[in-house]
Chain A
């Protein structure tokens, strides 16, 4: 029987970044591949610039995300005071932020951005091996999530989690059975979140999930991080469908 690693993502705010080219920084309704593997890599202590281990990690596992509570969309109007380009060149580098903003007023400009977040959202994430030569057994990933090297967060650093991720490895025939076999002891605390009997499930790979999927759709998402410095992402195929949420993760 195959193994699955399950963990839960929840916090007051989450932001799974979509394609952002300018002022508008949108958030997607469910965790992106880059965010989930970034979180796992951070727990393991793999750094952003370490392209090879990151690639290996991403290629070795498949991922599914169940949206237990979709949450509410919040738009954050974000302004940042920055020195003008010419001043920056003259006075660079600044030692502290205080120094940067204490330049004469005429030398400061404001840059704007609008960022989206989801409040009150809850997700169950599942990872399983894509092949036999995975760099870490699932139990090692779970161990790293319990005692991480870098903090986990929900897409943006300002979005901490508010419960332990509760990573757990289960053996099961398929994705649905794996979710049934999980145990998340915090249902009481999460009562105020609005959860439905049915929720959107997103998964990859052609394997049988065990779910009765309603209105299955195929989505192309450009969220496979290739190179952070060059900000390159590859496209992948993701399936989505409305499913009955298993009792154990509801």
Chain B
């Protein structure tokens, strides 16, 4: 038996095309014999994993975001100083013997390259070129743990005088617990030792009602066409879109997440909180510039328990109708949950709801409820 945290959400998107098939049409599915809009689980996961919320929560609040870590490593090696002191800009005393110029540059580059692609410098003639050659192209977020790990490697290199091995460099990344991989898993046929069984299950989100995908016929005017020869449009196109209220479901296997994160309970809670927050606030960004379809969840039900998890999409097998989809969907969801508990016995130990449509419950309460090991 494991502890499962299940999230059931209702999210309304205005006309949009969040997740497209090979024809550029919004993805669909049949449910209860009628056509629905669908957003694949993969698309949802990508939106959450690449969100600012994840980055803020899991990148380490006190980390350093920089392109210049390689340069700082070089300075630390040259001066025999602790990396944290150099990063903080402190004029601290040396803690080990300085490393010669050539090695400091080579090691700085090797370590920086673990975290990002190095800038391409044709030939190093000035001090500025040297600094650039030690910088990566993209910003990298370094957690305090990573800085400590790098410093450990620097001490080892300074003492042994040998170049960092591939193993040394790989270890640097393992110091940084990858919460999103622990949640969503990874399968690599080429190196199975890096595989990880996902602790979070995400269903495809499907609308609670019948949907017809519509065609948007659009034209674009050529500003410099003065209508002398031709008054037609400069461009004619067509785009498919649809709007809908989606039911989204995900299930977190808390025990497996704890295991995947090596028992780091604090990180587990942060991961669960940020996932819940991202799920409530972040959606796929497909065709965002054409539709600006950003939406927050209107309703969220969170459950905890060790009973066999189940989604509540059975509530929407019969498509929701009427003139208030949200109200009807919330009612269908809650009635189904109650009936299921009556029929099968408890399906979860406890639950919390938040209903932005009715203004009841808060996301903070939900976050408090889902995080922590309060079995």
Please tell me if B50 contacts chain A, counting CB pairs below 8 Å.
yes
Would you call A148 and B343 a contact (CB within 8 A)?
A: no
**A interface footprint on B229-256 (CB within 8 Å = 1, 0 otherwise):** 0000000000000000000010101011
Residue of A nearest to B27 (CB): A76
The winner among A71, A97, A186, A194 for most chain B CB atoms within 10 A is: A97
Task: Indicate whether A119 sits within 8 Å of B29 (C-beta atoms), given known contacts A95-B178, A189-B336.
Answer: yes
B residues contacting the other copy or chain, number (CB 8 A) = 69
Q: How large is the interface on A (under 10, 10 to 19, 20 to 34, 35 or more residues)?
A: 35 or more
Residue in B2, B21, B114, B251 whose CB lies within 8 Å of A77:
B21
Would you call B117 and A90 a contact (CB within 8 A)?
A: yes
Docked Cα-Cα span, A158 to B202, in Å, equals 5
Docked Cα-Cα span, A225 to B361, in Å, equals 47
Would you call B1 and A185 a contact (CB within 8 A)?
A: no
* Residues from 85 to 144 in A contacting B, C-beta threshold 8 Å: 87, 90-98, 101-104, 107, 117, 119-120
Task: Indicate whether A192 sits within 8 Å of B318 (C-beta atoms), given known contacts A95-B173, A119-B29, A158-B204.
Answer: yes
* Residues from 194 to 223 in B contacting A, C-beta threshold 8 Å: 194, 197-198, 201-204, 206
**A interface footprint on B163-201 (CB within 8 Å = 1, 0 otherwise):** 000000010011010111100100000001010011001
Docked Cα-Cα span, A150 to B115, in Å, equals 34
Would you call B180 and A98 a contact (CB within 8 A)?
A: yes
Residues of chain B within 8 A of A60, CB atoms compared: none
Would you call A13 and B202 a contact (CB within 8 A)?
A: no
The winner among B21, B32, B249 for most chain A CB atoms within 10 A is: B32
* Residues from 176 to 193 in A contacting B, C-beta threshold 8 Å: 185-186, 189-193
Closest Cβ–Cβ distance, residue B244 to chain A (whole Å)? 15
Would you call A190 and B314 a contact (CB within 8 A)?
A: yes
Please tell me if B331 contacts chain A, counting CB pairs below 8 Å.
no
Docked Cα-Cα span, A191 to B33, in Å, equals 11
Residues of chain A within 8 A of B311, CB atoms compared: 11-12, 160-162
The winner among B20, B30, B55, B344 for most chain A CB atoms within 10 A is: B30
Closest Cβ–Cβ distance, residue A219 to chain B (whole Å)? 26
Please tell me if B49 contacts chain A, counting CB pairs below 8 Å.
yes
**B interface footprint on A144-162 (CB within 8 Å = 1, 0 otherwise):** 0111111111000111111
Please tell me if B308 contacts chain A, counting CB pairs below 8 Å.
yes
Please tell me if A72 contacts chain B, counting CB pairs below 8 Å.
yes
Stretch in B38-46, B88-96, B294-302 touching the partner:
B38-46
Please tell me if A216 contacts chain B, counting CB pairs below 8 Å.
no
Please tell me if B129 contacts chain A, counting CB pairs below 8 Å.
no
Residue in B137, B180, B249, B336 whose CB lies within 8 Å of A96:
B180
The winner among B203, B253, B255 for most chain A CB atoms within 10 A is: B203
Residues of chain A within 8 A of B336, CB atoms compared: 189
The winner among B2, B4, B31, B114 for most chain A CB atoms within 10 A is: B31
Docked Cα-Cα span, A49 to B21, in Å, equals 35
Would you call B317 and A193 a contact (CB within 8 A)?
A: yes
Residue of B nearest to A93 (CB): B173
